[in-house]
Amino acid sequence: MTIFSYVFRTIRKLSSSIENNFSSIISLIILNGNGVKFDKGLKSNGIPKVDIWRYGSMNIGQSFKMNNGNNYNMIGRQQPCYFVVRNEAKLSIGNNVGISSTAIICSNKITIGNNVKIGGNTVIYDTDFHSLNAEFRLDFKKDQANTASAPVNIGNNVFIGAHSTILKGVTIGDDSIIGAGSVVSKSVPSKEVWAGNPAKFIRVI
């Protein structure tokens, strides 16, 4: 290793340590400012985007870890984590959950259990965002009033592969695995592997 390489790596390590401490402090301020309730052990690498609407709620259990942005869990498509909880919606995250560059948009109810690992760039939506009726989509109020939503429930010990999409009304049972790049539009029983677009049963664990 050359002297230049050693110095460069030392500076990079120090910079990363300083950034980690700074981003954790800023993240806690953002979460507190949005009224998020969280338990001990929360760690944030990078800074998330959080938007909890006035009558929405978000709760996080112990030992929650998230990676945000360009410098953490570098597997491509880097972005901060996004948490959007709309009016009267409820987002609940259990203990020992880890996520990276994940977007969770909650307009109804999303529940994530304990010991869940969610791969980079995964998105979880409990809403269609727009009406499926073309005429309603021409009018904002009708569009919003006729947009379907349904709760999402992710069980304990679930592993969701990177770049997956979890859609409204889906339940993923305990101990199940979702393959990378999957689009999950149907509920997944416990202890099964599902993958694909749309996601289909692969095998029992």
Active site residues: 130
Q: How far apart are CA 89 and CA 179, in angstroms?
A: 28
Residue 100 and residue 79 in contact, taking contact as beta carbons nearer than 8 Å: no
